[in-house]
Structure 1
Amino acid sequence: MSYLRFDKTLLTNLEESLPREILRTNRSGAYHSSTIVDCNTRKYHGLLVIPIPELDDENHVLLSSLDETVIQHGAEFNLGLHKYHGDNYSPRGHKYIREFECEKLPTTLYRVGGVILKKEKLFVHHENRILIRYTLVDAHSDTILRLRPYLAFRSVRQYTHENSQASRRYDVVENGIKTCMYPGYPELYMQLSKENEFNFCPDWYRGIEYPKEQERGYDFNEDLYVPGYFEVHIQKGESVIFSGGVSSIDCGTLNELFDNEASRRIPRDNFKHCLINSAHQFLNKQGDDLYVLAGYPWFKCRARDMFISLPGLTLSIGEVDKFKQFMQTAVKAINAFINDEPCDLKIYEMEHPDVLLWAIWTIQQYAKMVSRENAKHEYGQLLYDILCYLTTNKHPNLEVHGNGLIYTNGREKAVTWMNSTVNGRPVIPRTGYIVEFNALWYNDLKFVGDLLSEDGSNDWTDKIQALAEKAGKAFVDTFLNEYGYLLDYVDGDMMDWSVRPNMIFTAAFDYSPLDAKQKKGIVDIVTRELLTPKGLRSLSPKSGGYNPNYVGPQIQRDYAYHQGTAWPWLEGFYLEAYLRLYKRSAISFVERQLINYEDEMSSHCISSIPELFDGNPPFKGRGAIAFAMNVAEILRTLNLLEKYDNQ
Structure 2
Amino acid sequence: MEKVSTSSEKNEAHGELRSYIAFDQPELVNLSAALSHEFLSTNHSGGYMSTTSALCNTRKYHGLMVLPLENFGGDRHVLLSTLDETIAVDGKEFHLGVRRFPGVYEPRGHKYLVSFRLAPTPTFVYRVGDVLIRKELLFAHTKEHLLVRYTLLEGRGPLRLTIRPFLAFRNSHALARANMNAEVHFTPVPNGTSGCLYPGFPTLYMQTNVASEYVHAPDWHYNVEYSEEYKRGYDCHEDLFVPGYFTCALREGRPLVFSAATQVCNPRLLLRDFNGELARRPPRDTFANTLQAAAEQFLADRRRSMYIVAGYPWFGRWGRDTLIALPGLTLPLGRVDCFEKVLTSLVKEMRGGLLPNMGRSDAPAFNSVDAPLWFFRAVEEYCDYMGDCARAWKLWGKALREIFERLSGDGLLPFSIGMRPNGLIWAGEPGVALTWMDAVVNGCPVTPRTGFDVEINALWFNAIRFMQRMYSALGKPGEAERMALLADRVQASFAATFWLPQKGYLADYVDERGANPYVRPNQLLAVSLPASPLTAEQQAGVFEAVRRELYTPLGLRTLSPKNPSYHPHYEGGQVARDEAYHQGTIWPWWLWEYLCAARRVKGEHEGEVVARQILETMAREMHCYGLGTIGEVFDGDPPHAHGGAYAQAWSVAAVMRIAESVHPELFAGAQMGGEV
1:286-332 CA distances to partner (integer Å, 9 max, x unpaired)? Answer: 23100111111111111111111110010122211211121221232
- 2:19 equivalent to 1:2: yes
Aligned with 1:190: secondary structure?
Answer: strand
One of 317, 323, 333 as aligned partner of 1:307? 323
Q: Distance in 1 between matches of 2:480 and 2:402?
A: 13
Change (3 A) 1:535 1:344: closer
1:448 equivalent to 2:470? Answer no
> Does structure 1 residue 265 correspond to structure 2 residue 284?
no
Partner residue in 2 for 1:526: 546
Structure 1 unaligned regions, length at least 5 = none
RMSD: 2.1
Structure 1 residue aligned with 2:50 = 33
Contact 2:147/2:257, CA 8 A, preserved across alignment: yes
Q: Is the 8 A contact 1:301 1:348 kept in 2?
A: no
Shift of 1:347: 8.7
CA distance in 2, matches of 1:103, 1:642: 23
Question: How far is the alpha carbon of 1:474 from its aligned partner?
Answer: 0.6
1:624 aligns with 2:661: no
Q: Please report how far the alpha carbon of residue 423 of structure 1 lies from its aligned counterpart in structure 2 after TM superposition.
A: 1.2
TM-score scaled by length of structure 1: 0.96
Partner of 1:500: 520
Which residue of structure 2 lines up, in the alignment, with residue 550 of structure 1? 570
SS at match of 1:563: coil
- What is the match of residue 558 of structure 2? 538
Alignment partner for residue 412 of structure 1, among 431, 446, 467?
A: 431
Task: After TM superposition, give the deviation of residue 394 of structure 1 in Å.
Answer: 5.1
> Where do 5+ consecutive residues of structure 2 fail to align?
1-17, 667-676
Q: Secondary structure at the match of 1:279?
A: helix
Give the drift of 1:381. 4.0
Aligned match of 1:65 = 82
Query: In the alignment, does 2:661 pair up with 1:640?
Result: yes
Deviations 1:271-295 (A, max 9, x none): 2222211111111222310011111
Structure 1 residue identity aligned to 2:188: V
Indicate the SS of the match to 2:71: coil
Counterpart residue identity of residue 443, structure 1: N
Tell me, yes or no, if structure 1 residue 222 matches structure 2 residue 242: no
Q: State whether residues 521 and 546 of structure 2, in contact with CA within 8 Å, keep that contact through their aligned partners in structure 1.
A: yes
1:363 maps onto 2:379 in alignment: yes
Deviation at 1:338, TM superposition (A): 6.1
Structure number with the bigger relative contact order (C-alpha 8 A, sep ≥ 6) is 2
Q: 2:158 aligns with which of 142, 160, 163?
A: 142
Aligned partners of 1:295, 1:336: CA distance in 2, in Å? Answer: 27
Distance in 1, Cα, partners of 2:425 & 2:131 = 68
1:156 to 163, 172, 175: 172
1:574 to 590, 594, 603: 594
- AA aligned to 1:529 is E
Alignment match, 2:12: none
Alpha-carbon distance in 2 for matches of 1:316, 1:389? 32
CA positional deviation for 1:593:
1.9
Alignment of 1:39-438 (within 5 A): 39-86=56-103, 88-334=104-350, 348-373=364-389, 374-392=391-409, 393=411, 395-396=413-414, 397-438=416-457
SS at structure 2 position matched to 1:372: coil
Shift of 1:25: 1.0
Q: Deviations over 1:397-429 (max 9, x none)?
A: 321111111111143201000000011221111
Instruction: State, as a whole percentage, how many aligned pairs show the same letter.
Output: 40
Is the Cα contact below 8 Å between 1:118 and 1:137 reproduced in 2? yes
Partner of 1:136: helix, strand, or coil? Answer: strand
Letter in 2 for 1:409: G
For the 8 Å contact 1:150–1:224, the answer to whether it is kept is yes
The answer to whether the aligner puts 1:559 opposite 2:579 as a matched pair is yes
- Distance in 2 (alpha carbons) for counterparts of 1:123 and 1:339: 32
Aligned residue in 2 for 1:460: 479
CA shift, 1:455, in A, is: 4.7
Task: Check conservation: 1:532, 1:615, Cα contact below 8 A.
Answer: no
Which of 521, 527, 536 does residue 516 from structure 1 map onto?
536
d(CA) in 2 for partners of 1:80, 1:203: 17
Mean Cα deviation higher: 455-464 or 343-352: 343-352
In 2, distance between residues paired with 1:58 and 1:251?
Answer: 30
Q: Is the 8 A contact 1:314 1:323 kept in 2?
A: yes
**1:131–1:467: structure 2 CA closer, same or farther, 3 Å change rule?**
same
**Quick one: distance in 2 between partners of 1:143 and 1:456?**
75
2:219 and 2:642 map into 1 onto residues whose CA distance is 37
1:52, 1:332 → 2: CA distance? 21
Match of 2:14 in 1: none
The residue type equivalent to 2:83 in the other structure is: L
Q: Given residue 93 of structure 1, which amino acid in structure 2 is its aligned partner? A: G
In the TM superposition, residue 59 of structure 1 has moved relative to its aligned partner by 1.5
| Counterpart-to-counterpart distance in 1, 2:20 and 2:288 | 12
Q: Secondary structure of the equivalent of 2:151? A: strand
Structure 1 residues 470-509: aligned runs within 5 Å: 470-482=489-501, 483-509=503-529
Match of 1:594 in 2: 615
Structure 2 distance, partners of 1:410, 1:273, is 45
Q: Determine helix, strand or coil for the equivalent of 1:523.
A: helix
Task: Give the TM-score normalised by the residue count of structure 2.
Answer: 0.92
1:422 counterpart letter in structure 2: V
Change beyond 3 A, Cα 1:643–1:110: closer
Q: Could you say if the C-alpha distance between residues 454 and 59 of structure 1 is closer, same or farther in structure 2, counting changes exceeding 3 Å? A: closer
Equivalent-residue separation in structure 1 for 2:585 and 2:83 (angstroms)? 37
Which amino acid in structure 2 is aligned with residue 73 of structure 1? D
The aligned length equals 643
- For 1:369 and 1:579, the matched residues in 2 are separated by 19
Q: 3-state DSSP class of the match of 1:471?
A: helix
SS of 2:505 mapped into structure 1: coil
